[in-house]
Amino acid sequence: MPSIQLWQPQVCGCIVHESIDDSGNKTYVTESDAEGVRQLRRGISPDLTSARSVPVASLCKTHVLLGHTSSMYAALLEDSLLLKRVVGIINARIANFEDDRLSWDLTVGRVLNISVANTNAITRTRLQGDADTVLGIGKVVFL
């Protein structure tokens, strides 16, 4: 029987529901689907009125335009992977890089603006070149 968990990706401020099946596979579910699973697991008839206990999902400024849909979930997964890949690019370029030097903002157009503290213009230019080569031009901007 599936279970429900909240997922808050590191890349943005979204909070969404995921269903996890017995094999550990995760899929996006709406709040109402999450509530249905919760009721099924507790043996509560959907016809009975009971207080909802599923936390409210919310979407950030970037993903709200996609609504609570599987397309939004796919975008969240893609944007989260993008951030992880950027961190990998930074680690390859900067020796002993510490994540606390990194800040980012995901724009409404899904461009990841990255700021790395204590870096000079030459390093930022090299990081931008690496990101453009590995991820494609326009996906990431090093500030």
| 42 and 99 together in one domain | no
| 85 and 135 together in one domain | yes
Res. 2: pLDDT tops 70? yes
Predicted local confidence at residue 53, as pLDDT: 61
| DSSP helix/strand/coil, 60 | coil
| Least confident among 37-41, 88-92, 95-99, 122-126 | 37-41
**How far is Cα 126 from Cα 103, in angstroms, rounded to an integer?**
18
Q: How many domains does the chain have?
A: 2
pTM of the predicted protein model = 0.83
Domain boundary residue, one of 49, 72, 95: 72
**How far is Cα 70 from Cα 119, in angstroms, rounded to an integer?**
38
Domain that holds residue 125: 80-142
Chain centroid, CA 22 distance in Å: 23
For residue range 77-101, what is the model confidence (pLDDT) as tens digits?
999 999 999 999 999 999 999 989 9
| 93 and 56 together in one domain | no
Torsion angle of alpha carbons 115, 134, 63, 91, nearest 10°?
Answer: -40
| 66 and 104 together in one domain | no
| 60 and 14 together in one domain | yes
**How far is Cα 110 from Cα 4, in angstroms, rounded to an integer?**
27
For residue 44, what pLDDT band results from cuts at 50, 70 and 90? low
| 53 and 108 together in one domain | no
